[in-house]
Structure 1
């Protein structure tokens, strides 16, 4: 006797990202920064400069959100009559696959409210995972690039855009996406 199964990676990664997101937001502090042109001091909420735990939580969120969306788009891709017949490797990125799926269904990708946030998410993921800078210097009165990228406002926007992307894509392609609302299946789904 045999049975089929599927790992719900998109759900697991989204669930972990949501947990890490809540934990990271609770640890954000007021980060001092200066306006370059005037030198005027201001503050924003973000991870402390040497707060390894909060920085790690933010990094994990970015990687997990990207993995969740990538896995979800692959699920949609395989469930679509047309795209499932195409060579998946011909599309260089998750965003390219989303554009192709939208093209197949005559949908306008450019009109999606979440587009810039998703593109930023994948740029951040690629920066963190692939493009390592040896050392980045900043002035003493300026916050670092990563503190801005992992700021509370930025993390809230990314989470919102991932949520909207999965809801829209799931709705258009009739794929269950209740997990973004906390309705998680088991990690392993038996058929």
Structure 2
């Protein structure tokens, strides 16, 4: 077996970690490897927020990722990433959060689109469609099975493709070395 730093992986390459398949989106983000789960987490649909609010920072989906998936993946294996929750219309009142497990924003989806898996169900982004004058809102941007962006109420169900920035100092690739005879 040959051991390599995961930073050698290129965008679009796949690797397995903790029982999940991941797709590399960028091998140089926040000092690590940005990757997204290759299929819907647990093959289930989740509401963005049980109370129907489109603020990712306060969402039940974010709490679920941090409370259920992060312990499985291990904090030391991941690098914190700033999640920008600017609304589709540019309203930035929700600000940012910094997490080790997160979902992509619409801007990140656009940037890495050719490597983001398209799920059979609509897939949540962290981007609110708009923020109301009272500082809330209920619609969130999603990605369709065909790759189009749409919006849906935060209380509805959607697929979740978690993303992480993997720490190359703590994770190594183990590749089979094949002998080739001339």
Fold similarity call, TM over 0.5: no
Scaled by the length of structure 2, the TM-score of the pair is 0.28
Richer in strand (by share):
2
Scaled by the length of structure 1, the TM-score of the pair is 0.27
